[in-house]
Amino acid sequence: MSVEEKVKKIIEELWRDTNTVGAEDITADMTLCNSLGLDSLDMVEMVMKLEDEFDIVIKDEVVDEFETVADVVFCINAIQKKKETDRVCEKCGCTENDCSECIAAQNEPCYWVAPGKCSRCFDENGNLKANS
């Protein structure tokens, strides 16, 4: 199943109980709020489902830019491509190019102790820290 098909399926699940339109009727140019009627709670639920489905983290400022189904698909494709090329911490989601959350949490940038493991979340042996 393509990214677009998965996104459409997740959107369909959000409003299946109140609408009769199926995933096959959802098009890339449909707006999330106006065409599909998603409210802010639906958007939060959609993002959570997308993050689970694609094993990604979508930042709030990115979600604020979502207008159409195509925007969501583009975002997921971009995050997946970045994830393939960046080292990403499996616990906090920071990358070697963006560890702003780690800096905010510990007042210093993290470093990599092992593939997929940053120093904020893992000790020098690659074990999850107790406070993470």
What is the pLDDT at residue 49?
94
Spot the catalytic one: 39, 52, 55, 86: 39
Residues 34, 51 within the same domain: yes
Residues 101, 73 within the same domain: no
Residues 93, 81 within the same domain: no
What is the pLDDT at residue 46?
93
Residues 55, 71 within the same domain: yes
Residues 61, 7 within the same domain: yes
Residues 43, 108 within the same domain: no
Residue 21 has pLDDT above 70, yes or no: no
User: Catalytic: 39?
Assistant: yes
One DSSP character per residue, 2-66 reads -HHHHHHHHHHHHTTTT----GGG--TT-BTTTTT---HHHHHHHHHHHHHHHT----HHHHTT-
The pTM is what? 0.63
Alpha-carbon gap, residue 38 to 95, rounded angstroms: 31
Residues 7, 59 within the same domain: yes
Residues 76, 93 within the same domain: no
Domain with 122 in it: 88-132
Q: What is the mean pLDDT of residues 108-119?
A: 80
Of 76 and 94, the one with more pLDDT: 76
What is the pLDDT at residue 18?
59
- Give the CA angle between residues 7, 96, 43 to the nearest 5°: 25
Residues 9, 27 within the same domain: yes
What is the pLDDT at residue 72?
94
Of 90 and 83, the one with more pLDDT: 90
